[in-house]
Structure 1
Amino acid sequence: MIRIWFRRAVVAGALSAAAAVLAMAVGDLWVRAEAHGRVHSVASVPAAPVALVLGAEVYPGGEPSPFLAARLEIARQLLAAGKVRAILVSGDHMDWGYNEPGAMFQWLVDRGVPSQRIVLDHAGFDTYDSCARARRVFGVGAAIVVTQSYHIDRAVALCRRLGVDATGVGDDTVRVYREPWLHSVVRERGAVVKALADVVSRRDPVFLGPLEPGVEAALNS
């Protein structure tokens, strides 16, 4: 009896592992296909109305982590180069004491970006939510998505599937932080599976409200 149970457990474990590997492979192929030809450098990316900057860790004092600061610097460069006319910063503000969009806004303003050109999305809890809310809450039809290079294909793929005509610019400067970079690359393999599941389910973002005029106002300022 114990041998039979053990054999079944081994088979079930092997099947689960095979299914996970297959899901990661399918997810990886999907995001690569969706993003093919749509990821550029700051210099080569086609102009779009909005830069969508995806959130990342903010330190307890309110300072963006190097990963987030690198994304914000790309957005600043895009605005300075006339590639975009507004910046939508989207991140986690679930708890009162942790505010990614607020830190992103302050970083940009401190470096000369006009405040009226920046729009804050306080409910970008993951990439799917940021892309969905960019389209459904902020009315963004086309954007340059900004994140790290290991994440950019998934970000572009999700935004495109959710109605945003997206291109992307991915940062590589923070590769010098070897351990967190490698951790993020490994984590991305699982994240593509979640992205695929979110697209198939067409779930609503965690928070969904009426259309907000912030992006339109920023574009017209």
Structure 2
Amino acid sequence: MYRKWGVGLRALLMTLGALVIGLIIAGVAANLWMVERTRGRIDHQLSQCAKAPVGIVFGTSLWSRQGGRNPYFAARIEAAAKLMRDRRVDHLLLSGDNRTRYYNEPVSMWRELREQRVRDVDMTLDYAGFSTFDTLVRAQAVFDVERALLISQAWHLPRAMFIADALGLKVEGCAVQSEEADGIWRLRAREWLARLATLGDLYLWGREAYFLGPEEPLVIAEPPRVSAQAVAASLELQAREKRPEEQEGQRGTPGDVDAEVTSPEEETGGGEGASGSLSAADTARESAYDSPSSSAP
């Protein structure tokens, strides 16, 4: 009798082992497939990222689990702001989780980008981007996006682009550079599993977005018109940056432009003010804005 139990247990263990090995092989195959299918459309230098009418910024927490500022969030914001300044994208769709009044990824991104002088009219907030899948489905179905530049870390873009391809979106990837935070191995392991789950979402159980709602096509505003004065100021400031030894003696000339960054709380009267200074290029561009939007989401 014990011998029969031993044979049965051995057969069960062998079956489970074969199942585990099969899942591992399937996971590796899924990962390699997604990476290879999207590799050629991911740029790792912001200056080389493809131009697109819309840049989709995927939400993540402002703070890391260790309590400091999340470097992945910061890198996405910095990249999105630079892509807007360089006019590589005309509009930003900020999509993230808004599970509670105290956790709001889209508003956190909006505030940070506003401080970097991205105009309100150049940003749209998607409060129901609960996952990469939901963000892309809603970009197409709700915001009427057909072509976009996906802005995220290199390890996240293959899955995002694979989903977009399956939905029929025309996308390119812009990989942002960021410092690796503690626990990066957990993120990469989770991403490895998420790629495998994505195949089930798309081809097996027919996943749908958690929430869609009415259509809200994006309105892409005209870019700011750059005046001759702004161009002159930009060239003068750039020349100063090339001559560090002369900067001290040239401060206070008519080419200097100071600008104040207004926080959302200041405009609504709901908090303390925050201000900051602009870089040379940002200052020149800011002077060219005809009528920056001041509406809050």
Q: Is the 8 A contact 1:91 1:124 kept in 2?
A: yes
Which residue matches 2:220? 218
Q: How many angstroms apart in 1 are the aligned matches of 2:133 and 2:216? A: 18
Q: How many angstroms apart in 1 are the aligned matches of 2:9 and 2:216? A: 56
In structure 2, the CA distance between the partners of 1:137 and 1:220, relative to structure 1 (3 Å rule), is: farther
- Cα distance, 1:30 vs. partner? 2.4
Give the secondary structure class of the aligned counterpart of 2:174: strand
Letter in 1 for 2:220: A
* 119, 122, 145: which one aligns with 1:117: 122
- Counting matched residue pairs gives 215
Q: Is the 8 A contact 2:71 2:178 kept in 1?
A: no
Q: How many angstroms apart in 2 are the aligned matches of 1:180 and 1:148? A: 15
Give the secondary structure class of the aligned counterpart of 2:93: strand
Q: Is the 8 A contact 1:47 1:84 kept in 2?
A: yes
- % identity of equivalent residues: 29
Q: Say which is worse superposed, 198-207 or 102-111, in terms of deviation.
A: 198-207
Q: Say which is worse superposed, 193-202 or 136-145, in terms of deviation.
A: 193-202
- Cα distance, 1:220 vs. partner? 5.3
Which residue matches 1:168? 173
Which residue matches 1:49? 53
Q: Is the 8 A contact 1:93 1:100 kept in 2?
A: yes
Q: Is the 8 A contact 1:101 1:121 kept in 2?
A: yes
Q: Is the 8 A contact 1:58 1:99 kept in 2?
A: no
Which residue matches 2:31? 28
Q: Is the 8 A contact 2:38 2:162 kept in 1?
A: yes
Structure with more helix by fraction = 1
Q: Say which is worse superposed, 195-204 or 158-167, in terms of deviation.
A: 195-204
Q: How many angstroms apart in 1 are the aligned matches of 2:106 and 2:92? A: 11
Q: Is the 8 A contact 2:46 2:176 kept in 1?
A: no
Q: How many angstroms apart in 2 are the aligned matches of 1:130 and 1:97? A: 20
Which residue matches 2:14? 11
Q: How many angstroms apart in 2 are the aligned matches of 1:114 and 1:157? A: 31
- Cα distance, 1:115 vs. partner? 1.1
Q: Which runs of 5+ in 2 are unaligned?
A: 224-297
Q: How many angstroms apart in 1 are the aligned matches of 2:30 and 2:76? A: 24
Q: Which runs of 5+ in 1 are unaligned?
A: none
- Cα distance, 1:67 vs. partner? 0.9
Q: How many angstroms apart in 1 are the aligned matches of 2:156 and 2:87? A: 24
Which residue matches 1:135? 140
- Cα distance, 1:5 vs. partner? 4.0
Which residue matches 1:2? 5
* Structure number with bigger Rg: 2
Give the secondary structure class of the aligned counterpart of 1:166: strand
Q: How many angstroms apart in 2 are the aligned matches of 1:137 and 1:103? A: 21
